[in-house]
Structure 1
């Protein structure tokens, strides 16, 4: 049985310019749901967009998996008047309906998790031909004519005694191929409901919405953190190994400065069976050479979606985020900073990272910050 995910993206956005690509907690908005879809029970995930820069991003960023495919959608399916169903049908015809289950995922629903996707997939069977995600709202609703919709105002219930209403949050829809072809809709004739958290009902239409949702995502990631023995350390490079500056000539990158004491700290840390990994958004041969000198084998260059790659690494290694310490300095490190067992930031890191890191080191980057981080990890691990 082939289960496909479908994430439709459009280039334009009236309320928030470039919304789908804008960084939410340091990651492009659409990668929140895409990353979860990769680790769900879907067999393949299609990103259907008229934005060629997104297609280029996907081809470069997710080369480590054959599960993600980017497809260029037509201008007709991406205009303001085209429905999502129109795009779904256009796409399905282009692949000759090569699926058994269709899963529509909305990029503007960053609270979606792999468990939500899997639950919707699992609902399909003899009883249901489609499923959707909802939120149970306990709001009291009214019509414009002044009549109540979902309660008797003369017998106003207490919130804890009020069943409320179920409202679509637009995050996940699953439907069988047969029902989709019959109804030409994301829903079939018998629909199951899957409840998600209250915050997933929020829309991203204004700057205020963006700020509120970003804050909630940060708090969710931090709330799920656990602290266990540190078995792996992941480090950014520019602004962690170095002071964040680089010398350039007309021929390109010339030099970066590294602190030798940091290298010694990592060598000592390895003697305590802590594995060292490097993850940087820059694709630098200087960095590659320096890490080769330090005998660091797991070096990931040119990474923009660091959180999704980190999730792949922990799955491959059979560990948890709680076994990872992360050292980063800038906004593209922020999701990892908020998610791992222990996060550390150099003293000269950006304010947003220092605000959310577990430890702000006393040393600056390129001036002993990594050595200090290594000492903290060794001291911390003694309790285990």
Structure 2
């Protein structure tokens, strides 16, 4: 049974310009749900967009998986007045409905997890032909004419005695092929509901919404941390190995400076069976040469979605995020900083990274910060 995911993206956004690709906790907003879809039970995930930037981003960023495909949508399906169903049906017809289960995922729902996606997929059976995610809200609702909708105000219930209402959060919708062909709609005649946390009811329509959602995501990532032995260390390069500056010659060539003591610290870590990995957004041959000199085999260059790649590596190595220490300095490291077992930042890192790192090192980048981080990790691991 073939299960496909579908993420519709439009280039233009009225409320928040470039909302879908704006960085949320250091990652383009749409990558939050895309990353979870990759690790869900979906067989393929299609991003349907009129934005060439997104298409090129996906081709470069997720080359390590054949699961993700970017498809150019028509101008007609990307207008302000075109419905999501219009885009869904245009896509389904373009692939001749070659699937059994269709899963609509909304890029503006970054709280969606692979667990939520899988629960919706598993809900489809002989009793249900579609499913959607909801939130149980305990709000008391009223009509504009001043009459209550869901409770008796003269017998106001306590919150713990009030069942509340289930409200669509717009995150995940699943349906069988037959539903789409018959009803031309994301939902059928028999719909199952899958509950998500109340935070996921927040919609991103304004700058205030953006700030609230970003804060909640950061706290969610931090709450998942537990104590575990560090087995893998992942490091950014510019602003961690180097002081973040680049020197150009008159011929356009550039150079970077590295601290020899940092290299020795990493060598000592490897003697204690701690694996070292490099993950940088720059695609630099200078960096590749330096890491080759340091005998570091796991070097990932040109990475923009560092969190999704880190998840892939964690699964491949059979460890958890709590076994990882991460050293980073800027906003594109932020999700990893908030998610791993131990996060460390040089003392000249950006303020937002230092405010969320577990440890702010006394040394600056390019001047002993990595060596200090190595010593911290070795001392920490002694308890295990």
TM-score range normalised by the length of the shorter chain: over 0.9
Q: Give the secondary-structure state (helix, strand or coil) at the position aligned to 1:20.
A: helix
Q: Give the secondary-structure state (helix, strand or coil) at the position aligned to 1:325.
A: strand
Q: Is the 8 A contact 1:246 1:253 kept in 2?
A: no
Match of 1:206 in 2: 206
Q: Give the secondary-structure state (helix, strand or coil) at the position aligned to 1:370.
A: helix
- The CA deviation string for residues 25-72 of structure 1, in whole angstroms up to 9 with x for no partner, is 000000000000000000000000000000000000000000000000
Q: Is the 8 A contact 1:4 1:42 kept in 2?
A: yes
Query: Whole-Å Cα distance in 2 between the matches of residues 249 and 59 of structure 1?
Result: 33
TM-score, scaled to structure 2: 0.99
Q: Give the secondary-structure state (helix, strand or coil) at the position aligned to 2:55.
A: helix
Query: Whole-Å Cα distance in 2 between the matches of residues 191 and 247 of structure 1?
Result: 60
Query: Whole-Å Cα distance in 1 between the matches of residues 9 and 195 of structure 2?
Result: 24
Q: Give the secondary-structure state (helix, strand or coil) at the position aligned to 1:257.
A: coil
Following superposition, the deviation at residue 254 of structure 1 comes to 1.6
Matched, 1:305 2:305: yes
Query: Whole-Å Cα distance in 2 between the matches of residues 134 and 339 of structure 1?
Result: 26
Following superposition, the deviation at residue 180 of structure 1 comes to 1.2
Match of 1:366 in 2: 366
Following superposition, the deviation at residue 248 of structure 1 comes to 2.1
Matched, 1:192 2:186: no
Following superposition, the deviation at residue 96 of structure 1 comes to 0.6
Query: Whole-Å Cα distance in 1 between the matches of residues 189 and 296 of structure 2?
Result: 55
Following superposition, the deviation at residue 233 of structure 1 comes to 0.1
Match of 2:257 in 1: 257
Query: Whole-Å Cα distance in 2 between the matches of residues 296 and 202 of structure 1?
Result: 43
Matched, 1:133 2:133: yes
Following superposition, the deviation at residue 249 of structure 1 comes to 3.6
- The CA deviation string for residues 136-173 of structure 1, in whole angstroms up to 9 with x for no partner, is 00000000011000000000000111000000000000
Match of 2:333 in 1: 333
Q: Is the 8 A contact 1:129 1:179 kept in 2?
A: yes
- Name structure 1 gaps, 5 residues minimum: none
Following superposition, the deviation at residue 251 of structure 1 comes to 4.8
Following superposition, the deviation at residue 250 of structure 1 comes to 5.6
User: Map of 1:150-229 to 2, 5 A cutoff?
Assistant: 150-229=150-229
Following superposition, the deviation at residue 227 of structure 1 comes to 1.9
Matched, 1:276 2:276: yes
Q: Give the secondary-structure state (helix, strand or coil) at the position aligned to 2:8.
A: strand
Following superposition, the deviation at residue 226 of structure 1 comes to 1.4
Query: Whole-Å Cα distance in 2 between the matches of residues 251 and 17 of structure 1?
Result: 38
- The CA deviation string for residues 102-153 of structure 1, in whole angstroms up to 9 with x for no partner, is 0000000000000000000000011100000000000000000110000000
Q: 1:252 to 1:93 in 2, by over 3 A?
A: farther
Query: Whole-Å Cα distance in 2 between the matches of residues 20 and 254 of structure 1?
Result: 34
Match of 2:109 in 1: 109
TM-score, scaled to structure 1: 0.99
Matched, 1:267 2:267: yes
Query: Whole-Å Cα distance in 2 between the matches of residues 45 and 13 of structure 1?
Result: 23
Q: Give the secondary-structure state (helix, strand or coil) at the position aligned to 2:134.
A: strand
Query: Whole-Å Cα distance in 2 between the matches of residues 252 and 16 of structure 1?
Result: 37
- Name structure 2 gaps, 5 residues minimum: none
Match of 1:46 in 2: 46
Query: Whole-Å Cα distance in 2 between the matches of residues 346 and 141 of structure 1?
Result: 50
Match of 1:74 in 2: 74
Query: Whole-Å Cα distance in 1 between the matches of residues 229 and 183 of structure 2?
Result: 52
- The CA deviation string for residues 335-376 of structure 1, in whole angstroms up to 9 with x for no partner, is 000000000000000000000000000000000000000000
